[in-house]
Structure 1
Amino acid sequence: MRSPSPPRNPAVRPFLVGMFVDALGNGLYVPLTLLFIQQVTGLPATTVGLGVTLAATLGLAANPLAGVLIDRFDARTVLVGTYVIRALGFALYPLVDAFGPLVAIAAVISAGDRAFYPASGSYVAALTEGGGRDRLYAMQATARNVAFGLGGLLSASALSLAGGIGFTLIAVLNAASFVVSAACLLLPGGRVVGARRKGDRPGGYRQVLTDRPFMGLVAVEQAFTLTRLILSVGLPLYAVSALGAPPALLGILYTINTLLVAAGQLPVRRMQRHARRTHAMALAGGVFVLACALYAAAAFLPAGIPMIAALVTATLVFTLAELLHATPSASLAAGTAPAALRGRYLAVHQMTWSVGQVIAPAGFAGLIAVSPALLWVALAALLGLAGVGMLRLSAHLPASAVTAPEPNPDHQRLPDNDRA
């Protein structure tokens, strides 16, 4: 007789709805970020670029701060806070008319963005565990990718129908999306995770930074993070500037990647459910290396259809690698972290994206300037080391983090910060 399925945590559904609405709002403006801010504020493009760069730098401090707040209070409270401050920021954007207010508001929004990732990752880890955690990470990624794509379509519609005022409309709608997302977490079901920890006395970042297996995992993750920035940072320079591919191809490649990531998260997760997460990530590294080889090979093909076909094929392989990497990476980091320090652990793990976004633009451009093939050789070498590192870490990380057991029914009812 088939055993009954474990009861679903009532906070899961409002969380996923909030993730969808949040990503829908983000999809409205992210593809047009600098143009959006310039049009809404009326400031010169150079002023906007400098202001956004400065604000993004200031916002980096929110990542480690979020880790402290998550451990001191809980992930849900911090996640709601990220929605509230970003809602206020976007609501105030139309009132900006000078450099100072631009930096202030953009920094607040950037801080909310940086704090969002450790908070949302910690929230998922609190909602469930084992194989259920992998599934929820995959469902979150699916919801966000679908919504982000829809948001991009709605953005184009808003601009074509409303003209210049469409940018202000996008600001208002994005602010509203954050309000709705926060409201989803404040629903009665969401409050299950909202209880404040009693008697928790978590340590500081020193404990995280001296956890050698975890810091090894972070070092490995940095190689994967740099590679995953290729589509948005490296490929435009390589395909258009170095190979002379048509710029319109970039939009097609990005759309292919977004659609397949949305459609493939859950099927790939089902394929990986019996695999060690470390081994799944090592396999992802190998597939990323294959994608790098295919991107490099495109430079040796004739311009036109052969080269474009090679870039499309490489992007398909790259997308498969991304799917193989995403869920095991998130679950492995969450499973390695002690519950009392999960906020700090995931904040350090998420810093790989902040570091990558600092290194990638200049680093990728410098490698391509020397030789286009050098970019792919460097990434392949990093990924090879990362794959070997993952296999070596398998014996040193907690067994409960490396494997993905099916969720325990008792653990599904309440998140760990509400258990006695």
Structure 2
Amino acid sequence: MKTKDGRVPGERNLISGMLVDAVGTGMYVPFSLVFFQRITGLPLSTIGAVLTVAGLLAMGSMPVGGWAVDRFGARPVRLTLYLIRGLGFLAFPLGTTLPVFALVATLTAAGAQAFPATQQALIGELAQGEHRDRLMALARSINNAGLGVGGLLAAGLVQLGGDQGFLAVAWLNATTFFVAALFALRIRSPHSSRSRTGRQRSGYRAVLRDRPYAGLTLANFLIALGYSALSVLLPVYAVNQFGLPASVAGPLFAVNTALCAFAGVPVGRLGRRFARRTRVAAVGALVFATAFLGYALLGGMPRQGVMVGLVGLLILYTIGELVHSPSAGALSVSAAPAETRGRYLATYQLSWALSQTLAPSLFTGLLVVDGRLPWLVLAASSTAGAIVLLALERRLPAEAVYTATVGAMPLTRGEVTEPKRLSRGRAG
């Protein structure tokens, strides 16, 4: 179902909540360690250790969040997570002792870890067919734009207010989550009241038995390692390999963020012109691999051309990100049965969490051996992920593989049409 302006029901409130959330997140991400140091007064090494442990513990919230989505629907779970995250940032100024800070950090991280799968599940409830791909691309653009605005706003507050500026950042970040929750309250999902079937009661056993979906999750893990390259690998590579100043990371991040914010929607629209999500996502992964190979070969360039090469390959990397992300996200949502979509997406989201957890130790370990080695490993993993996606094409549900037009598309597995259930045939 669409509204008269072509949007799906609830889209305005969904996007508004995403934007407000992203602005708040962007306010503290660039300053996270310093932010917590000024707010809590704890030593920097202690804060880093607590945040690492909190992140690992919070991964346990993902399967719980998936269960809750299947039990209560994505909208109320999304609303609850906004409230948890908002209350967490309100409580951070109280975390001047280690136990309180650890507790608040873990609860806030749990809310953040469970959120992406919940948001994807809500998109799955609100939109079908090509509108899922469109919302995935729009969500990524909105997120990057909001992060950029939030970062600039926080920088101004810290510059003007010093330590009090950090306190203002904490309160404003908490406020953005509460405002986003108000937008979430206004969303009415047309599919949220669907009936729960026997398959829903089978829980995570059904997810583990679904080998095509397990393969989809494996493919995403192999490709998702590349998403960590921009923040973890590229800055240290530029500094250690070419002797560039550490400040070079700023312009590189700015190029990536700007391209994602402004080019995400048109690139996503171009991707939807091709029928099969598996192939579009695979092309994005192969563009990733090409960029990684370029970084491995960059050491042979004259020094004066290194910065041009870094930026040029970053643009290629960003194109791969923009091509892969919407199709892969819509594929993960559409391949999940509707009645257990929360559990499926929570399992899929573990591939992102695991790749982000392993990336720092993997990249630094490979850099010690050879500066080119991590890029070659990333090129190989992205290529392997693309191959797995293509191999799964005939085993995944046809309604997941194909970007059908609205009004002519089959429903996702588990969704009921009147008066009968649609076929679950595989893609041919």
- The answer to whether the 8 Å contact 2:9/2:126 transfers is no
Is 1:11 aligned with 2:10?
yes
1:333-374 Cα shifts (integer Å, max 9, x gaps): 011000001101111111111101221001000111100111
- The answer to whether the 8 A contact 1:294-1:313 is kept is no
1:158 equivalenced with 2:153 (yes/no): no
Calculate the TM-score normalised by the size of structure 2: 0.92
Which position in structure 1 is the counterpart of 2:277?
A: 277
The answer as to whether partners of 1:125 and 1:334 remain within 8 angstroms in 2 is yes
Task: State the alpha-carbon separation in 2 of the partners of residues 409 and 389 from structure 1.
Answer: 28
Q: Residues of 2 paired with 1:186 and 1:338: CA distance?
A: 25
Q: 1:418 to 1:401 in 2, by over 3 A?
A: closer
Residue in 2 that maps onto 1:232: 231
Local SS of the residue matching 2:256: helix
**Post-superposition offset of 1:196:** 4.4
Residue 55 of structure 1 corresponds to: 54
Task: Extract unaligned runs of 5+ from structure 2.
Answer: 420-428
Which residue in the other structure is 2:422 paired with? none
Give 2:188's aligned residue.
191
Contact 2:213–2:396 (CA under 8 A) maintained in structure 1:
yes
- Tell me whether 172-181 or 200-209 shows the greater mean CA deviation: 200-209
For the pair 1:299 / 2:299, whether they are aligned, the reply is yes
Task: Read off the aligned partner of 1:287 and give its amino acid letter.
Answer: V
Q: 1:417 to 1:121 in 2, by over 3 A?
A: farther
**TM-aligned CA deviation for residue 411 of structure 1:** 9.7
In 2: Cα distance, 1:120 partner to 1:270 partner: 21
Cα distance in 1, alignment partners of residues 149 and 415 from structure 2: 34
Per-residue deviation, 1:200: 4.0
Distance 1:212 1:416 in 2: 21
**How far apart are 1:128 and its partner, in Å?**
0.7
Task: Tell me the residue number matched to 1:327.
Answer: 326
Question: What's the counterpart of residue 36 of structure 2?
Answer: 37
Could you say what secondary structure the match of 1:191 adopts? coil
Distance 2:123 2:191 in 1: 13
Preserved contact between residue 399 and residue 409 of structure 2 (Cα < 8 Å):
no
SS of residue paired to 2:372: helix
Residue in structure 2 matched with residue 376 of structure 1 by the alignment:
375
For structure 1, the 5+ residue unaligned runs are none
Moved more, 151-160 or 350-359: 350-359
1:249-306 CA-to-partner distances (Å, cap 9, x unmatched) read 1110111001101111111111111321111111112211110121112212233x31
Secondary structure of the residue aligned to 1:406 is coil
| Cα contact 2:125–2:189 (8 A) shared by 1 | no
SS in 1 for 2:395: coil
Contact 1:122–1:346 at 8 Å: present in 2 too?
Answer: yes
Cα–Cα, structure 1 residues 419 and 67, in superposed 2: closer, same or farther, change >3 Å? Answer: farther
Are 1:294 and 1:311, in contact at CA under 8 Å, matched by a contact in 2? no
* Count of equivalent residues: 412
Could you give the per-residue CA deviations for residues 208-244 of structure 1, whole angstroms, max 9, x where no partner exists?
Answer: 1111111111111111100111001111221112332
- Residue 135 of structure 1 corresponds to which residue in structure 2? 134
- Post-superposition shift, 1:58? 1.2
Alignment partners' CA distance in 1, 2:252 and 2:223: 20
- For residue 58 of structure 2, what is the amino acid of its counterpart? G
**Cα deviation 1:10-52 (Å, max 9, x = unaligned):** 3111111000000000000011111101101111111211111
When structure 1 is superposed on structure 2, of 203-212 and 236-245 the one drifting more is 236-245
Q: For 1:19-418, what aligned pairs fall within 5 Å after superposition?
A: 19-187=18-186, 190-192=187-189, 195-201=192-198, 202=200, 203-275=202-274, 276-303=276-303, 305-408=304-407
In the alignment, the residues of structure 1 paired with residue 389 and residue 253 of structure 2 have an alpha-carbon distance, to the nearest angstrom, of 28
Q: CA deviation at 1:419?
A: 9.0
* Contact 1:272–1:280 (CA under 8 A) maintained in structure 2: yes
1:9 to partner: Cα distance: 3.3
Change (3 A) 1:193 1:86: farther
Q: Quick one: which amino acid aligns to residue 243 of structure 2?
A: G
Structure 1 residues 206 and 410, CA gap change in structure 2 (3 angstroms): closer
CA contact (8 A) 1:282 1:388 kept: yes
Deviations 1:80-100 (A, max 9, x none): 111000111000111111111
Look up the SS of the partner of 2:363 in the other structure.
helix
Contact 1:128 1:407 in 2 (8 A): no
Amino acid at match of 2:69: I
Q: Offset at 1:194? A: 8.5
Distance, in Å, in 2 between the alignment partners of 1:10 and 1:192 is 7
Amino acid at match of 1:65: V
State the distance in 2 between where 1:339 and 1:270 align.
Answer: 25
Q: Which amino acid aligns with 2:94?
A: L
TM norm structure 1:
0.94
Equivalent pair of 1:6/1:408 in contact (CA under 8 Å): no
CA RMSD of aligned residues (A): 2.1
Counterparts of 2:259 and 2:393, CA distance in 1: 29
Instruction: Tell me, in whole angstroms, the C-alpha distance in 2 between the residues paired with 1:228 and 1:195.
Output: 32
Contact map agreement 1:76 1:185 (CA 8 A) in 2: yes
Amino acid at match of 1:81: T
The one-letter code of the counterpart of 2:252 is: L
Paired amino acid for 1:155: A
Farther-moved stretch of structure 1 (61-70 vs 290-299): 290-299
Contact 1:213–1:393 (Cα < 8 Å) also in 2? yes
Question: Which residue identity is paired with 1:245?
Answer: L
